[in-house]
Chains A and B, each alone.
Chain A
């Protein structure tokens, strides 16, 4: 199994959903999409072994992959949605007790740092958000003191949900669980780019917002069209006040709610059958 499948403990969630060991999830025959994506489900230069199957969240990456000459796609829905089924009570608070905004800064990764005007972004956040703001930094930004301090000094609560892991090491299996708990106590989810976290937040009832400097990511490959294309394809998801009904519909599409599998079908699909 490719080590990306372990990112954020997604393989662990699926193994648990399928009724298997989620501490050491079985090998998954193929590649599991690990984040929302405007292309084929992976970054433009991702390597694939011949004959690999690609398990994606929704039908859109399958279509885009098809025109890139790739086949062997199967849409399975986002592991996040399976987690929601498994943890229907985790962190739930009464609706009227939910408050504030969980604000995700567009993040870099192990191979590329972000750069942008944090000061201006903070001003815009303060100007926009009415309640308390929790800033979520990915561990790559959280570890950069100069970035973290911007937000701490602004008086925001700054959190980090952990590491996604690398080569099966350091994976925080509770990464998405912690995020789920946080979403369920916040009223809004916001980010400076339309990204996975926005869809996750909308899926558990958060009001979405996408605004502010989208910032630059070092080495970002614009092969699929970049930020401008996001604006053309999902204009309803950009802004400080977004129609929640439209947001919910788009979120269901992008996370592949209609494509979720029953456990026994998942075991067959991932070749997780018991052969003893």
Chain B
């Protein structure tokens, strides 16, 4: 690597051998959601600088909007690979301080979504975060469009990370970046630090692992059950799959939302300056779909776009729809279940059943994406439909299966005994919805629910199961063991009673046998024989005459 590809300009601080592209849990910044935000944000620019590792999707989008793009990467191999991939950008290998020491014409747009933590080499000075920002802004015009990321040390994924501090960060951190006292620790500090550096009029977004982006003030205003809270929680759950946690992240995220702090706990923040953007961006339920969210007087305007990729048996719909600002049917049902309010569930199930039978039956129903405003239901942005026709009963069965899975899988309170919490519960709920709950309907519902789960839920990595869930599973196993031991005890007691019962009956049989033997002894006595014989005499008078004749005889 002494002879670095001539298409790559090298400045001081380059790293080799090294790659930022394959660091565990730290992919290059990008993804469809970030790109959708960028496509709204970035104006047409003459010169754009991209600093740090970014996905090819980001670079392509930037190149579409700019006459000239420069990409700064600290890894020589990453830089060489990128330079070889396309001539749409100039690639510089080296550190930010190395670039800052060279004379460069200012850029109209600066993209640093990955933040300022992967812009120095091991040979760079230990620049504080504000110093790195100053180095970055040296290359920007005064009114340059800007997008800058900052990792959040107070994120829920960080707070709930079960690893020790010495194992939490990877090969990237030869210098402990988070020990920098000037590093912003909150979104307010982030915004203020940027303002001090000359970036005014910027808007901050909470970045839930590149899965969901929510404008920070809107995130803080989101409460559990609201659309933005659900999007934030989904984002956190999806991206936290790679982190071994102490507790399920969804509960904590909802608690943060309840406290008005959802904007304080994402994995990172993005600070933007450029064209106006929407209130939130998120991945859709289907791969390839993104959803942009805006507020209107009648609720939320959801704009789902992209080319959906759906698993076998399903298809996904995109488009724009308006969603009331109300809780989901799932939330309402969870609350009723936690309260043990079966009549309430029965009533809502009946209402659901009646509503489903009035609509197109191939649309898959997910109660977690079905808003209930007290008088009616509105489907959200998942947009799933079955490829094969499905009856209203099958659609309902699928919805109840999914609700049951999330109820039991989420260890929520409910009033049903464990032996009823499987298909029996689904059949019961289905009957509450006015369906006959035929076995075939329940089975078809299971298939649809499984297909939806496979397409919608993050893949569970067993190595990162959180400690609370692991402890809960151990506790559940102990509880089940205790109950089974109780069951065995009960069976033994029953056996004991049965045994006593048998003994009593045995005793009675024995007594009866003795009585019978006594009776038999009586029966076998000579006199008894005579009596018996005598009893057999049918015509006593004739017999008496015969006896007299013999005696006289």
Contact = CB atoms under 8 A, between A and B. Distances in A.
Interface of A: 44, 60, 62-64, 66-69, 222-229, 232-233
B contact face: mostly helix, strand, loop, or mixed: loop
A62 B16 CA distance: 15
Contacts of A63: 122-123, 174-175
Chain B contact patch, size range: 20 to 34
A20 B11 CA distance: 46
Contacts of A60: 122-123
18 contacts: A44-B17, A60-B123, A62-B174, A63-B175, A66-B122, A66-B173, A66-B174, A67-B18, A68-B17, A225-B14, A225-B76, A226-B1, A227-B2, A228-B4, A229-B2, A229-B14, A232-B14, A232-B94
A257 B175 CA distance: 19
Given A60-B122, A66-B174, A67-B122, A225 B11 contact: no
B399 interface: no
B171 interface: yes
* Most chain B CB within a 10 A radius of its CB, from A66, A224, A228, A229: A229
Contact of A66 (B98, B123, B171): B171
A68 B16 contact: no
B12 interface: yes
Contacts of A67: 15, 18, 122, 171-172, 174
A222 B16 CA distance: 10
Contacts of A227: 2
B10 A232 contact: yes
Interface in B212-252: none
Contact of B16 (A66, A69, A224): A224
Contacts of B123: 60, 63-64, 233
Contacts of A62: 174
Contacts of A66: 122, 171, 173-174
A228 B3 CA distance: 8
A60 B124 CA distance: 10
A68 B171 contact: yes
Contacts of B15: 67
A225 B15 CA distance: 8
Contacts of B122: 60, 63-64, 66-67
Nearest to B172: A67
* Most chain B CB within a 10 A radius of its CB, from A63, A222, A226: A63
**10 closest Cβ pairs, A-B complex:** A226-B2, A66-B174, A222-B2, A63-B174, A63-B122, A64-B122, A232-B12, A67-B171, A69-B171, A222-B1
Contacts of A229: 2, 14
A229 B16 CA distance: 10
Nearest to A69: B171
Contact of A64 (B4, B12, B172, B174): B174
Given A63-B122, A67-B174, A233-B123, A223 B12 contact: no
A226 B76 CA distance: 13
A233 B174 contact: no
* Most chain A CB within a 10 A radius of its CB, from B12, B98, B122, B175: B122
Contacts of B18: 67
Interface in B68-102: 76, 94, 98
A222 B10 CA distance: 16
B2 A225 contact: yes
A62 B2 CA distance: 22
B173 to A, nearest CB: 7
Given A67-B172, A68-B171, A225 B1 contact: yes
A223 B1 contact: yes
A98 B422 CA distance: 92
Given A63-B174, A67-B171, 9 more contacts: A60-B122, A63-B122, A64-B122, A69-B171, A222-B3, A223-B16, A225-B16, A228-B2, A232-B98
A228 B94 CA distance: 13
A12 to B, nearest CB: 31
Contacts of A68: 17, 171
Contacts of A222: 1-3
B120 to A, nearest CB: 10
* Most chain A CB within a 10 A radius of its CB, from B94, B171, B172: B171
B175 to A, nearest CB: 7
Interface in B448-478: none
Contacts of B12: 232-233
Interface in B325-375: none
A62 B15 CA distance: 14
A192 to B, nearest CB: 16
A76 to B, nearest CB: 17
A222 B3 CA distance: 9
A24 B17 CA distance: 38
B170 to A, nearest CB: 8
Contacts of B4: 228
Nearest to A60: B123
Contacts of B2: 222, 225-229
B150 to A, nearest CB: 22
A232 B172 contact: no
Contacts of B171: 66-69
Interface string B1-44: 11110000011111111100000000000000000000000000
Contact of A232 (B3, B11, B17): B11
B29 to A, nearest CB: 19
A63 B4 CA distance: 22
